[in-house]
């Protein structure tokens, strides 16, 4: 897949529409796209990317807001397609730059983001929209269309300006038997297609998967068998936003005369929101507290918790490593009712192995149909291309292999190769008089949330953390009398995590000799002397242990014998 080497984007020509993705291209997460027309900005989604093992200490990864920070007052609204974290999780961080940006979305999506913003002590300005609603937001005319996804109340967005019309699918699939009866509004897709869609921005996550995605209802018989054979507790781990899946678990718990308890802050928060809005139906005596559930016989208990992606601080991971009040044994059944997000494989299998070692029966997508994807497969994508008949197709939401596969699908139904816009995050696509082109790119950086810090952690610091975790640490301390060219204290060498304890006497003598020689040659700068010590210790540890630890030398210089 060839991606052109582009310069910085020029100023937007009058009457043109600019599309600038800040996340979601080449990755599964942090979806965010900025639209510009007549100096006004519209944002579709603002999500997070979850860290991998190569991001030690990082909690979340945000889109880089830098291209729009100086223009934050030009933003007319943030439009959210649905309530998943990879589409809404970065909203609180964007609102730190301007807290009164209006947020537009469906009822459940707004309820989820309002609960999140409350935790950040931000009061949101929201506008709730219904299916097929049309709203004028600045110079943008927006139409909201129902789509089926793995969370209720998801929407596609039609964006109309004098420069052209864009249809942004959000995340979607075409389940013909959805649990809530709300199917993807293909009739409206076709209607917009008849009016003329200049650019179709389309979900790419399952573009490599042939055919059509299975229906959510296909899972029920599998889950029924899980409940029927379970001797003890059933513990289900799911995304805290997967209302449909949790409804299925609740219905099965009721039919098997079991009580349920929610475990995990985000799970409790989101399920209370979904129940209050009528998206989750729980019989009055079914939901009880965790304390009450612990008093029931194991074969009457169902726990619904977070941690399906192996997140280290989530409930299921803590159960697996025995750091949670909940423990599991041989009669317990664990169900991981979610997909495996790329990058989380090691963490997920670590949890599965930990739970299996404790004797539990672990059911997951690898050994049973306990999850179906919320994203359209190749057959569904071709169907949408043929219904909409767009002038241009822009694959979004996916890793590079997904974007490329979606581009090939578009070409297979007749979209010309030069009308398939494959872009990177930061690339600007300008639409003007029915013509679209990649016109430039903003260089973007990784923005890490690390505890209370946002953006202060960089690749250099992460590399240091990886070295500390994998190679170990050595400190070298010495005090020298520069006037007399002598070492008056140390060198003291302390290592942690490097390997088996070694005798550092010889290397300390070598460091002392090198420091004396350097001072006799006229070197008085403590930093230069420290680097002499670093070089000698680095050579020693490389030869002795075949490792490259972090070495921190500290040489204190004393002049005049004081």
Is the pLDDT score of 7 beyond 60?
yes
Residues 6+ apart with CB under 8 A from 173: 147, 148, 149, 184, 206, 213, 373, 374, 375, 376, 377, 380
**In this model, does residue 270 exceed pLDDT 50?**
yes
Q: Which residue in 102, 94, 92 sits closest to 65, CA to CA?
A: 94
Higher pLDDT pick, 431 / 49: 431
36-63 pLDDT, tens per residue? Answer: 999 999 999 999 987 665 555 566 889 9
Q: Which of 161-165, 222-226, 538-542 shows the lowest per-residue confidence on average (mean pLDDT)? A: 538-542
* Digit-coded pLDDT (tens) for 76-99: 999 999 999 999 999 999 999 999
Arithmetic mean of pLDDT, 20-32: 94
Q: What is the pLDDT of residues 406-419, one digit of tens each?
A: 999 999 999 999 99
Q: How many CB atoms lie under 10 A from the CB of residue 115?
A: 15
Q: What is the DSSP string of 419-469?
A: GB----TTEEEEEETTEEEEEEE-----EEEETTEES---HHHHHHHHHHH
Res 262: pLDDT: 93
Percent of the chain at pLDDT above 90? 54
> What pLDDT does residue 279 have?
93
- For the ranges 171-175, 267-271, 452-456, the one whose mean pLDDT is highest: 171-175
Q: What is the pLDDT of residue 119?
A: 86
Residue 203 or 535, more confident: 203
Q: In terms of Cα–Cα distance, which of 306, 323, 319 is closest to 355?
A: 319
Give all strands (DSSP E) within 325-434, no chain letters.
333-336, 361-363, 392-396, 427-432
User: Span 484-509, mean pLDDT?
Assistant: 75
DSSP state of 11: P
Q: To the nearest whole number, what is the mean pLDDT of the chain?
A: 87
* pLDDT score of 343: 64
If one compares 469 and 354, the residue with the highest pLDDT of the two is: 354
Least Cα distance to 216 among 163, 264, 148, 288 occurs for 148
The mean pLDDT of 301-305, rounded to a whole number, is 92
Residue carrying structure tokens 């409930």: 315
pLDDT of 458 > 60? The answer is no
> Given this model, what pLDDT does residue 1 score?
46
- 258-280 mean pLDDT: 92
The band of 562, judged by pLDDT with boundaries at 50, 70 and 90, is: very low
pLDDT grade, residue 453 (50/70/90)? low
> With bands split at pLDDT 50, 70 and 90, how would you rate the model's confidence at 227?
very high
Distance of CA 189 to the CA centre of its chain: 28
Among 37-41, 326-330, 377-381, 499-503, whose mean pLDDT is lowest? 499-503
- Domains identified in the chain and CATH numbers: 18-212+373-443 (3.60.15.10), 217-363 (3.40.50.10710), 459-558 (3.10.20.580)
Contact 478, 512 (CB under 8 A): yes
Q: Which structure tokens are listed for 320?
A: 């697996």
Q: What is the rounded average pLDDT of the residues 113-118?
A: 92
Query: How confident is the model at residue 49, as a pLDDT?
Result: 83
- Give the lowest-confidence range in 163-167, 213-217, 228-232, 535-539: 535-539
> pLDDT band at residue 527, thresholds of 50, 70 and 90?
confident
C-alpha–C-alpha distance, residues 538 and 257, integer Å: 65
The pLDDT-based confidence of 108 (bands split at 50, 70, 90) is very high
- Whether residue 281 is predicted with pLDDT greater than 60 in this model: the reply is yes
Relative to beta strand 102-105, strand 75-79 is: parallel
202: its two tokens? 């389309």
Among 109-113, 415-419, 448-452, whose mean pLDDT is lowest? 448-452
Cis amide prior to 79 (ω within 30 degrees): no
**Helix/strand/coil percentages in the chain, nearest 5:** 30, 25, 40
DSSP letter at 128 equals: E
User: Residue 536 corresponds to which tokens in the numbers above?
Assistant: 């000698």
Give backbone dihedrals phi and psi of 218, rounded to 5 degrees, phi first. Answer: -70, -20
Q: Tokens for 331?
A: 């009669």
């Amino acid at each position: 897949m060839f991606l052109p080497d582009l310069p910085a984007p020029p100023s937007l020509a009058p009457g043109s529409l600019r599309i600038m993705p800040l996340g979601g291209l080449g990755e599964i997460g942090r979806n965010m796209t900025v639209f510009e027309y007549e100096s006004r900005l519209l944002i579709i989604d603002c999500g997070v990317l979850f860290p991998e093992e190569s991001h030690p200490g990082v909690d979340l990864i945000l889109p880089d807001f830098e291209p729009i920070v100086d223009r934050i007052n030009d933003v007319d609204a943030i439009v959210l397609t649905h309530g998943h974290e990879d589409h809404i999780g970065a909203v609180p961080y964007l609102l730190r730059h301007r807290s009164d940006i209006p947020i537009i979305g469906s009822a459940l999506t707004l309820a989820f983001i309002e609960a999140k913003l409350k935790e950040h002590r931000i009061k949101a300005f929201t506008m709730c929209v219904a299916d097929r609603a049309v709203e004028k937001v600045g110079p943008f005319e927006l139409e909201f269309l129902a789509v089926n996804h793995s969370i209720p109340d998801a929407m596609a967005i039609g964006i109309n300006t004098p420069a052209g019309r864009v249809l942004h699918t959000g995340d979607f699939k075409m389940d013909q038997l959805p649990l809530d009866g709300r199917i993807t509004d293909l009739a409206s897709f076709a209607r917009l297609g008849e009016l003329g869609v200049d650019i179709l921005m389309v979900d790419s996550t399952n573009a490599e998967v042939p055919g059509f995605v299975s229906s959510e209802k296909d899972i029920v018989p599998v889950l029924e068998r899980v409940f029927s054979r379970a001797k003890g507790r059933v513990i289900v781990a799911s995304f805290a936003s997967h209302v449909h899946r949790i409804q299925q678990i609740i219905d099965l718990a009721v039919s098997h005369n079991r009580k349920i308890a929610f475990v995990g802050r985000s799970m409790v928060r989101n399920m209370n929101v979904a129940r209050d809005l009528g998206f989750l139906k729980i019989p009055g005596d079914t939901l009880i507290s965790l304390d009450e559930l612990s008093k029931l016989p194991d074969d009457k208990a169902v726990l619904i918790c977070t941690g399906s992606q192996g997140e280290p601080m989530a409930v299921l991971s803590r159960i697996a490593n025995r750091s949670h009040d909940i423990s599991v044994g041989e009669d317990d059944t664990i169900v991981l009712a979610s997909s495996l997000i790329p990058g989380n494989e090691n963490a997920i299998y670590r949890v599965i192995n930990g739970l299996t070692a404790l004797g539990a029966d672990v059911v997951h997508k690898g050994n049973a149909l306990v999850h179906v994807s919320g994203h359209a497969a190749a057959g569904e994508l071709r169907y949408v291309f043929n219904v909409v008949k767009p002038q241009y197709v822009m694959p979004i939401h996916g890793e590079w292999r997904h974007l490329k596969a979606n581009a090939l699908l578009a070409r297979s139904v007749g979209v010309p190769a030069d009308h398939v816009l494959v872009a990177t995050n930061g690339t600007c696509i300008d639409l003007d008089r029915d013509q679209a082109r990649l016109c430039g790119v903003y260089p973007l950086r990784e923005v890490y949330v690390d505890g209370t810090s946002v953006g202060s952690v960089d690749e250099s610091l992460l590399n240091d953390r990886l070295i500390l975790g994998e190679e170990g640490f050595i400190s070298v301390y010495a005090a020298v009398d520069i006037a007399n060219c002598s070492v008056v204290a140390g060198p003291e060498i302390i290592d942690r995590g490097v390997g088996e304890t070694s005798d550092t006497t010889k290397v300390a003598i070598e460091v002392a000799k090198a420091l004396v020689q350097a001072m006799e040659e006229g070197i008085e700068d403590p930093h230069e002397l420290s680097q002499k010590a670093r070089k000698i210790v680095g050579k020693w540890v490389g030869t002795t242990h075949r490792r490259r630890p972090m070495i921190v030398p500290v040489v204190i210089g004393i002049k005049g014998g004081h």
